[in-house]
Amino acid sequence: MKKIGLFYGPLGGSTEKVAKKVVAALGFDNVDLIPVKSAKAADIEKYENVVFGVSTVGKETWNSDKSANDWDVFLPELEKVNFSNKVIAMFGLGDQITYGLHFVDALGIIADKILPKGAKIVGYVDATKYEFRESLAVKDGKFVGLPVNEDFEPELTDERVKSWVKSIKPLLK
């Protein structure tokens, strides 16, 4: 397996915590952990295997013209990347109780940007294993990545990460 670039944001908090669990499951020697806050398109271009770790922004920024979280700043960089030779896996932090109408939406937003650019996304997760109302991340009954709820289901995170990494490992180049 070739080196994996794991791009995550924001720094600190649950997304970084889960990113480190994914790195441990994939093997520390196999992964470069890169905060999106300081990343550019050229950084993604270095890898054939890419993992994106993202948190869904809360409702306080959905109606704001000034949303500037790490991924909002980084999203334009995705437009510059040729994804045709890349295998992408994604995990997203979210809260399906408080934000049941937007559960891990960021995964869907990223998928909608990179699929038309040739990305091969792996690591889809059955949506019936989660209780939520709506999500932009669901395509054909599956999430486009691993949803993680550290607010209300932290006891499920380790097993979810372990199972998901086991499913994506053979699909990475």
pTM above 0.85, yes or no: yes
pLDDT classification of 62: cutoffs 50, 70, 90 = very low
Give the domain extent around 152: 4-171
Whether the pLDDT of residue 127 is over 50: the answer is yes
Who has greater pLDDT, 91 or 70? Answer: 91
CATH code where residue 76 lies: 3.40.50.360
Domain count, the chain: 1
Whether the pLDDT of residue 68 is over 80: the answer is no
Residue closest to 88 by CA, chosen among 129, 118, 127, 56: 118
